[in-house]
Structure 1
Amino acid sequence: MSKKYYSIGEVSEKTGVSVRTLHYYDEVGLLTPAKNEKSGHRQYEEKELITLYKIISFKSLGFSLDRIKELLKETNSTHSLLDAFQLQKEIMLQQMKSLEKNINTLNQTIELLKDKGEIDSTILMSLIYSLQTEDKQKEWLEQYIDKEALDQFYEKIDTKRDDINKGFVEFSEKLKELYGKPVDSPEVMALVEECYQYAMNYIDEDVMEVFAGKVEAEDLENLDFKQLQNIAPSPFTKEEEKWFDQVIEYYMTKYAEQEIDDSNEE
């Protein structure tokens, strides 16, 4: 009984794989059919069709062509395929997690742009990068702060994420506008106070109690903020950051003095 051969066009029509792709599979040694001695045209047997369907299946599961070439040699080993499928599942779960994070970041950014309209691109990109690296930021903070306390803190933050993103943008824009003014100017102090009160609105008593019980003061003193800046770069220039550090230092000094005065009055 003579063998049944299929032309490359017939194979393309039967499988939905383009002629161009079949040519490429032949070039890289993934699927190499025999050649007609007279015409030189590729001719596929049933075994090549079966192999092609395997390639299609592996590709649909996200395997690379190089890995598919290896798997085609291992299809007789159920154990090898099981290991490959389990590993691919883990890879795809990680990809799914990354995709979900990207979609979540896009949703937050879209809502922010709808609400705010024009936003300084440096500030916007800083916010996006911060959202994308939040897991790394949490890992960094876990060096100094109890994980349970951090998890509760982020759970609270997640419920108010849109407002917090909006506040970050508005505060950053105002800070850039005030850059260069004397650190003790009423405008600057008012902005820092506004920011402080704004932050306190999103850190309720339950969260503060958790931190108070599980965060040591000496741990907070050891925070290496340069590491954090590498994970989530700020939207400010070095000159703006230096000025802002002076602003915060002055504010904290003034706040401490006010606390002492209030205590003496009592």
Structure 2
Amino acid sequence: MKRMDVKLYTVGQLSNLTKVSIRTLHYYEKLGLLNPIRDENNQYRLYGDRDILRLQQIAILKKMKFKLSEIAVILDQNETLVDESSHHAVSAWTQSLEGQLSIVRKQQEDLRKVEQLLFSTLYSIRVTGQVNLEEMLHFIKELDQPKDRSRGALLREVFSPEELEVMPINKTGPVEMEWADILREIHNHIHEAPDSNASQKLAKRITEYALLLFNGDEQLAEKYWEYIVPEDGQSPRVYGMTSEVMRYIEKILERWG
């Protein structure tokens, strides 16, 4: 039976408008993802607002690499929420889109975490010139660990939102990776005298890098430096920035200045 006061589309029309093949639409129906009504005269499939809403959700979730079996569960959960609250079209679409936004944001957060872990692993290889199996094991472990909220809270206590925008925290660009090259050079020359030619070349490079990294804000650079200094017996707050490395940097910068 036809739904009253609702625009309905045949499978051909829906396929033409969405560029989803007729075969795929039939397959979605077979899986129970779509449930078109049948024209009472010729038994043609007819798709209405509910079908379009579900098809839109399927398209988004497929783009996010969800399996069709997973999509079916999400669709059923969303439909239950909509049915329990309101049958009004605007309300249904609003709730569905808000639910999809929530899923997208969660996936973005998960992907950012993976990005940072991948970057950190590449960074460590760039610093040391070798693969550290212990760090690979740590990478695997961290993938399933909840995000450390305490570190973020501590940063917000120390730095303003404007300062955090500038600082090299959770950033994975070429500028941040450049420090890995500098750190490797530091490790190569850490036992040289602070006033040696190699040490002073490093001091110049570090000074220029800091100006670039902190947009010329020397006060913020100093504030960040003080923040990352590890306390006695404490692990480095930033990879590779041990007490020994930081003392060497301070000595060569004193001579450079």
**Which TM class, normalised by the smaller chain length?**
0.3 to 0.5
TM normalised by structure 2 equals 0.46
Higher normalized contact order (CA 8 Å, seq sep 6+, divided by chain length): 1
Larger radius of gyration: 1
